[in-house]
Structure 1
Amino acid sequence: MVSFDHRDPGTGESVWEAAGVRERGASWEPGPEIRHLVVLAAHPDDETLGAAGLLARAEAQGIRTSVVVATAGEGSHPDSSVRTRAELAAARRLELVEATAHAAPSAAVHLLGLGDGQLREQRDELLSSVGSILAATRGPTVVCAPWRGDGHRDHRILGEVAAALVDDDPRLRLLEYPVWAWHWADPREDDPLPWDRVVALHLTAQETAAKQRALRSHRSQVEPLSDRPGDEPVLHARMLAHFERDVEIFVDGGTRTTARDGAPSLPAEFFDDFYSGRADPWGFETRWYEERKRALTLAALPRRRFASTLEVGCSTGVLTAELAGRSDRVLGIDIARAPLEVARRRLGPAVELGTFRTPHEWPTGRFDLVVLSEVGYYWGARDLELGIWRAVDSLTDDGVLVACHWRHPVPEYPTTGDEVHAALLTLSGLVTIARHEEEDFVLDVLVPPPGDSVARQEGLL
């Protein structure tokens, strides 16, 4: 643990500027797949110092935001003669709410109420509380926590807890923000930042201004409590200069990968070539294997009828036609144009069809049935995760996700059917209410928890 005193002048911002702090990190911003940003702070003001600009960016992009603060920061002025620890805690909680409103007015604020300076002793409570909040998030989530190398014990413990939770949940990506490292580290000597893993969010003028307003809200930290010794500001002007930048720096802690790395998704050209000159290359219309598999898929549907169905990878529309008999509206999408022309002749105007380079292109709207049939193994590891999250986000609150895939390995495919379904069960946050597995294919029916069976839905239990 680094030993430093916040009252020291520290490393000037001009030193970091000369070291190229604005240019060294790879540019990054939250992508369209991100559904939730959770900023963890050991004390009120950490979230503003490290990630107020990111909170503002996420808010503008419609990403759900949460701020989780472990302590009330009651130990910030141990020698104060004008404020008790309880008074400081009350003031800092109010400042936190005000500051968050400047950066991300819609953010949910969670105050865990643990002891300032005591996170190591309360690690179990911290792990449980933060874990419960992260478990309730849905879809791809960025977790932003203090950098474990920041030199403050509470920051290190919270960063370690965040890293452990991210490692257990592949929906999560960890970014760590330095706070006190800008004060005690010196890039001219032994710069501790792992610059090969640093990413930079370049802020707009509006985001920079919002961050400054949020910082000024932490009055107990940026202004003296009184003119007496012990009441000096914790964040003096020299320290605050680091946070007047128009860039926020994060150490990328990454995410756990569930599918095998390296193999990219199959491109659209692969399917264009595959369908060239062939109206039914898979034998959908002629093979008993395909007819039987469709019958099992339809029989596994937990409802007689659906309001709106999305079929991803609809190909020539053979399954699409049968889904149309169970749905008020069907949208079938595929990456290749040739099979969609066959599907249009088969289905007529009653069914909507569209070309989408999934998973990066995805239709808008929500559906109470999403079907992923023989499509997931075409996606590489990252795209498979993205495709699952896209599918889950397309579901209504009571929607049904059906997945069916060939289990035998195909050399050209980046993943296997078993890997697709393992990722679905791990990533989706859904529960399985029906599963059919045989040597050739696996079929899963997944719904949001608690996952009532058909008999239970109909009052038989």
Structure 2
Amino acid sequence: MVTFRHDDGGTPEKSWLDGGVTSLPVLPGEALPGCGDGLLVVAAHPDDESLGAAGLIRHALRAGARVRVLLCTAGEASHPDSPTRTPGALAELRTLEFDQAMRALDPDAVRGDGADPEGRRSPGAGSLVWRLLGLPDGALQDHGPRLNREIAAEVAALRAADPARLLIASTYRHDGHGDHEALGAAAARAATEQGLDLLEFPIWYWHWASPEDGRWRGWHLLPLDDDGRAAKRRAMDSHHSQVHALSGQPGDEVLLLPGMLEHFDRPSETYRWTPAGYRGAGTATSDFDSLYHRDPDPWGYLSSWYEQRKRAVTLASLPRPRYGHAVEAGCSIGVLTARLAERCDQLDALDASGRAIDLARQRLEHLGHVRLRHAVLPGAWSFPEGSLELVVVSEIGYFLAAGELDDLLRRAWSALRPGGHLLLCHWLGPIVGWPLDGEEVHRATRTVAGEPVVVHREEKFLLEVFERPGPEQRGPAA
């Protein structure tokens, strides 16, 4: 997790503007809700929806879409040291502010449990319903199953109106704030499972990241017209407790400082768009079996100098000369597997493609200490806690959806013994047709495993090794 404070300097808005953030491609029409469509916006705290997605909500309403907003917490932890407001009083205040923000976007917005105010509308007009879930502020990561259920219930409520199509908008899954990331991951899971477009809006990312970070260059813009910008400003102003100090006393300071608010006064909103139908674990076997049937060495493992050199770097980066029990997740046709086997007493090599496993078996049948298994991860992970000394995840992380990757990383980290190593190596070029890229895979790993003990970065690939802390050390929990 990125460490930052709301009151530090942050990245100036001028840096983003100079970097070209307002020159990104515009969201295509198929990425936006239209008349009769449904849009679900999930927000961790009151103000997230106004900062990141007020323009999108206003656009959807004007287009005639049904909009539902799920507010997951009341934001009661925004001022933990306030001498004038208890957490309960803050929750009440911020819920009232949220209601005002919703009415700034739609005067007929209602708080409800599923009722759509369509009956009060002219034909073709949009509608907005919002609901407070009431989970604890700052602890959404502890409520993953509940988030999954509630998001699914909101999608079902929108489906009941028989929309032409549905979209989900959520906080960016790598936003640097624990609640934002937990909610973003839950929304990504829902979009994958339900086959929906996903629009992720960054908030604190603009504060702690910099244009050199690079991930934003693949995102899209939603231009805001005069009506959209005015509605967004009204919505943001409704969150008075965040844009103004609660009082003049210490602990009641303003949360959203002018420098932070500048990021959200642009003439457009910025979204990471993942179209419906992107691939993940559920399509891995069919995707890769087809690939290997067309070409038994689709990535040139046997012929490419790049691949040969990358294998050498991988082996040289292992901190220990030898390991006991190791696992290679995504072994493909077994070329790296053969080299890893020289350094391990026992090696389990897994792949989602049965065809790849058959090809690997032909190459490795003489190695009795190597076990090959057709396994779709993360669901087929079967190694108990503390049983492994090495896990290698090379070039497969971006073929998983965000929730699937997080599940695999946590299972792998938990399976390592103290002092064991988790090695990741991924290409840094664009990944077409899947939801993640190499940078995002490695960033997700840091949220699980902390900082790496080995880092090797080149223009084309990133390799990192993470070490499981021993009993006397402290580190991220599994």
Q: TM-score range by the shorter chain?
A: 0.5 to 0.7
Alpha-carbon distance in 1 for matches of 2:7, 2:153: 37
Following superposition, the deviation at residue 254 of structure 1 comes to: 2.0
Alpha-carbon distance in 2 for matches of 1:36, 1:75: 31
- In structure 2, give the amino acid aligned to 1:85: P
1:56-205, aligned counterparts within 5 Å?
A: 56-105=58-107, 106=109, 107-138=128-159, 139=163, 140-170=165-195, 172-187=196-211, 189-193=212-216, 195-196=217-218, 198-205=219-226
How many residue pairs get aligned? The number is 257
Indicate the residue corresponding to 2:24 in structure 1: 24
Following superposition, the deviation at residue 28 of structure 1 comes to: 3.5
Following superposition, the deviation at residue 32 of structure 1 comes to: 3.8
Conserved 8 A contact 1:150-1:179: yes
- In structure 2, give the amino acid aligned to 1:236: L
SS in 2 for 1:113: coil
Following superposition, the deviation at residue 142 of structure 1 comes to: 1.3
CA deviation profile, 1:383-424 (whole Å, cap 9, x unmatched): xxxxxxxxxxxxxxxxxxxxxxxxxxxxxxxxxxxxxxxxxx
Q: Which has the larger radius of gyration?
A: 1
- In structure 2, give the amino acid aligned to 1:104: D
Indicate the residue corresponding to 1:6 in structure 2: 6
Conserved 8 A contact 2:72-2:135: yes
TM-score normalised per structure 1: 0.54
Alpha-carbon distance in 2 for matches of 1:177, 1:104: 20
- Please list every run of 5 or more consecutive structure 2 residues that lacks an aligned counterpart in the other structure: 110-127, 288-478
SS in 2 for 1:120: helix
- Pairing 1:40–2:61 present: no
Following superposition, the deviation at residue 104 of structure 1 comes to: 3.0
Conserved 8 A contact 2:46-2:74: yes
Q: 2:264 aligns with which of 226, 229, 243?
A: 243
CA deviation profile, 1:84-103 (whole Å, cap 9, x unmatched): 10000000000001001111
Indicate the residue corresponding to 1:213 in structure 2: 234
SS in 2 for 1:51: helix
Following superposition, the deviation at residue 233 of structure 1 comes to: 1.1
SS in 2 for 1:250: strand
SS in 2 for 1:89: helix
Alpha-carbon distance in 1 for matches of 2:208, 2:136: 24
- In structure 2, give the amino acid aligned to 1:70: C
Conserved 8 A contact 1:54-1:201: yes
TM-score normalised per structure 2: 0.52
CA deviation profile, 1:11-36 (whole Å, cap 9, x unmatched): 11111111111112333352547611
- In structure 2, give the amino acid aligned to 1:27: L
- In structure 1, give the amino acid aligned to 2:80: P
CA deviation profile, 1:264-298 (whole Å, cap 9, x unmatched): xxxxxxxxxxxxxxxxxxxxxxxxxxxxxxxxxxx
Indicate the residue corresponding to 2:55 in structure 1: 53
Alpha-carbon distance in 2 for matches of 1:34, 1:157: 30
Conserved 8 A contact 1:199-1:251: yes
- In structure 2, give the amino acid aligned to 1:43: H
- In structure 2, give the amino acid aligned to 1:79: D
SS in 1 for 2:155: helix
SS in 2 for 1:27: coil
Runs (4 or more) in structure 1 with deviation over 4 Å come to 257-261
SS in 1 for 2:133: strand
> How much is the aligned-residue C-alpha RMSD, in angstroms?
2.0
CA deviation profile, 1:160-184 (whole Å, cap 9, x unmatched): 11111111112x2110000001111
- In structure 2, give the amino acid aligned to 1:74: E
Alpha-carbon distance in 1 for matches of 2:221, 2:95: 29
Alpha-carbon distance in 1 for matches of 2:34, 2:229: 22
Following superposition, the deviation at residue 121 of structure 1 comes to: 1.0
1:401-420, aligned counterparts within 5 Å?
A: none
Percent identity between the aligned chains? 42
Indicate the residue corresponding to 1:409 in structure 2: none
Pick closer, same or farther for the CA change 1:14–1:257 going to 2, 3 Å: closer
Conserved 8 A contact 1:37-1:66: yes
SS in 2 for 1:26: coil
Pick closer, same or farther for the CA change 1:161–1:135 going to 2, 3 Å: same
Q: 1:229 aligns with which of 232, 250, 261?
A: 250
Following superposition, the deviation at residue 135 of structure 1 comes to: 2.0
Alpha-carbon distance in 1 for matches of 2:274, 2:201: 10
Conserved 8 A contact 1:55-1:104: no
More displaced 10-residue stretch of structure 1: 33-42 or 172-181: 33-42
Indicate the residue corresponding to 2:347 in structure 1: none
Conserved 8 A contact 2:173-2:180: yes
